[in-house]
Amino acid sequence: MNNEFKIEVIRRPGSDQYEIYLLERSVGGVRNGNVNKDGVIEFKQAPEVAKEGEIKPLMRISGMFWGEFVRAVAEDLPNITKKEVDAELKATKYHLSDMRELLKLKQKGKR
């Protein structure tokens, strides 16, 4: 099993703050990510986290900045162009056509 990373966003009850958690699941259990004093994300096993008290979020951010934060992250995501989507769709259609031929299924519109 490969490590699985998950980001959880929770709006704090009775507050306009959001908490962001970075979790890593693996065969060894669940680890929680936090930023150390040097600004680097460190992961600690759940039992170590429990000894320290509550599980701390990676960060807390005010609702006042939340929209701008999300926009800034979204702007940094890679853009997928229509050309790339069309190429992937064409390849998928070709693959499905091959599979129909192998399975001797009738193609839509052909008898």
Does a structural domain hold residue 21? yes
pLDDT given for residue 91 in this prediction: 78
Backbone angles phi, psi at 69, to 5 degrees: -60, -50
Does a structural domain hold residue 84? no
Give the global pTM: 0.59
pLDDT given for residue 98 in this prediction: 67
> Sign of dihedral through CA atoms 103, 109, 110, 111?
positive
Q: Say how many domains are in the chain.
A: 1
DSSP letters, 28-69, are: TEEEEEEE-TTS-EEEEEHHHHHHHSSPPPSEEEEHHHHHHH
Residue 56: give the domain boundaries: 4-78
Does a structural domain hold residue 66? yes
Does a structural domain hold residue 19? yes
Does a structural domain hold residue 56? yes
pLDDT given for residue 20 in this prediction: 92
pLDDT in tens for each of the 111 residues of the chain?
578 888 889 888 889 999 998 988 888 788 889 989 999 999 988 665 555 556 788 999 999 999 999 988 888 877 777 777 777 778 777 767 766 677 765 555 555
Does a structural domain hold residue 90? no
Does a structural domain hold residue 12? yes
Does a structural domain hold residue 85? no
CA separation for the pair 72, 60 (Å, rounded): 16
pLDDT given for residue 18 in this prediction: 93
